[in-house]
């Protein structure tokens, strides 16, 4: 948690709520963790118990914490944000999540902007091909294809809320943990659906299962594919290619990376040649029939 900033114009209770909220979202305070006592928080922030109480009430109303009589205040295991009264359909949380995922179709991959790519791929476009790469790698590595594809499609879902921070920005920006964001994105969903999305996110971030390792490699390989394509368009993507290849963990991914860099990205060129040959053949048959 960060102490109060004397130069921050916000009221102390607002700053305290923001500090604790950030600690929850970053993973500093994990689900189920108990907050320090009111006296301890008042001493840490240099305010009265009343001010701390107002901040805790805000966090409780937002669904970040719950109070247990005689025990203290605890971070909620599952976010429970306020939902408008007219939003009472049992699948309203799922619908809201799907609308949110649509936003990824409009969010560009920020790293390519550094190269001056005028209209870079979106996060959704990236995630789609990551899923395809993941399916191929999973089949080669003997991992579960469907499980891997699900992680691939979901791996950047948290960027609806924090955007795509390029590598140059990560030295300056601290963002919320994807697991914490997932907990809030799935608020209001049926428990089974929320659990599925949250567990996939946590598994990908941990990177311990073979499916997670394959999915993470698929993410890097899609970046490599895009880098090669942008290289052909005249952008120097050497650094992106080297970084992507250097991060690969599975043998199948390393082999596929070699194939990608050795393959002409103009996949349609062979068809263009065949089309010309077929057209010439058809014209020859037409002349023969007329003769």
Query: Looking at the domain 12-75, which fold is it?
Result: Arc Repressor Mutant, subunit A (1.10.10)
**Residue 37 gets which letter from DSSP?**
P
Contact status, residue 219 vs residue 130, Cβ threshold 8 Å: yes
The residue-averaged pLDDT of 7-25 equals 90
Distance, CA of 84 to CA of 80 (rounded, Å): 12
Is residue 271 scored above 80 in pLDDT? no
Distance, CA of 226 to CA of 140 (rounded, Å): 22
Structure tokens at 271: 């068809």
83 band by pLDDT with thresholds 50, 70 and 90:
very low
The residue-averaged pLDDT of 214-219 equals 98
Contact status, residue 23 vs residue 13, Cβ threshold 8 Å: no
Distance, CA of 127 to CA of 150 (rounded, Å): 10
Structure tokens at 52: 């701390």
81 band by pLDDT with thresholds 50, 70 and 90:
low
Distance, CA of 124 to CA of 109 (rounded, Å): 9
Q: Which residue has the higher pLDDT, 43 or 61?
A: 43
The residue-averaged pLDDT of 93-104 equals 94
Is residue 82 scored above 60 in pLDDT? no
- The predicted structure's pLDDT at residue 278: 67
Is residue 285 scored above 70 in pLDDT? no
268 band by pLDDT with thresholds 50, 70 and 90:
confident
Q: Which of 187, 123, 115 is nearest to 154 (CA)?
A: 123
Provide the CB-side half-sphere exposure for 103 (13 A, CA).
16
- Mean pLDDT (the chain, rounded): 90
Distance, CA of 21 to CA of 19 (rounded, Å): 5
Is residue 38 scored above 50 in pLDDT? yes
Is residue 87 scored above 60 in pLDDT? no
- The predicted structure's pLDDT at residue 287: 61
How far is C-alpha 117 from the chain's CA centre? 22
- The predicted structure's pLDDT at residue 17: 93
- The predicted structure's pLDDT at residue 231: 96
Question: What residues does each domain of the chain span?
Answer: 12-75, 92-269
pLDDT in tens, 127-183: 999 999 999 999 999 999 999 999 999 999 999 999 999 888 888 888 888 998 998
Q: Which of 203, 117, 114 is nearest to 152 (CA)?
A: 203
Query: Looking at the domain 92-269, which fold is it?
Result: Hypothetical protein af1432 (1.10.3210)
- The predicted structure's pLDDT at residue 272: 72
């Amino acid at each position: 948690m960060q102490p109060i900033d004397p130069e921050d114009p916000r009221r102390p209770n607002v700053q305290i709520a923001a500090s604790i909220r950030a600690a929850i979202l970053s993973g500093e305070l994990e689900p189920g963790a108990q907050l320090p006592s009111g006296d301890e928080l008042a001493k840490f922030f240099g305010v009265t118990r009343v001010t701390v109480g107002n901040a805790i009430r805000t966090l409780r109303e937002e669904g970040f914490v719950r109070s247990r009589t005689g025990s203290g205040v605890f971070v909620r295991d599952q976010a429970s944000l306020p939902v408008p009264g007219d939003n009472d359909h049992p699948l309203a949380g799922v619908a809201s999540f799907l609308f949110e995922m649509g936003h990824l179709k409009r969010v560009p991959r920020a790293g390519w902007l550094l190269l001056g790519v005028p209209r870079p791929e979106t996060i959704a476009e990236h995630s789609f091909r990551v899923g395809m790469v993941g399916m191929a790698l999973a089949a080669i590595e003997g991992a579960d294809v469907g499980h891997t594809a699900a992680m691939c499609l979901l791996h950047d879902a948290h960027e609806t809320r924090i955007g795509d921070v390029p590598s140059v920005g990560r030295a300056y920006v601290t963002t919320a943990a994807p697991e914490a964001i997932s907990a809030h994105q799935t608020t209001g969903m049926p428990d089974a659906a929320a659990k599925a999305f949250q567990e996939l996110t946590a598994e990908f971030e941990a990177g311990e299962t073979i499916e997670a390792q394959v999915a993470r490699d698929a993410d890097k390989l899609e970046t490599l594919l895009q880098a090669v394509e942008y290289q052909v368009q005249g952008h120097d993507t050497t650094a992106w290619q080297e970084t992507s290849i250097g991060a690969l963990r599975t043998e199948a991914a390393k082999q596929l990376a070699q194939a990608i860099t050795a393959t002409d990205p103009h996949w349609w060129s062979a068809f263009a040649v065949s089309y010309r040959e077929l057209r010439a053949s058809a014209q020859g048959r037409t002349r023969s029939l007329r003769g």
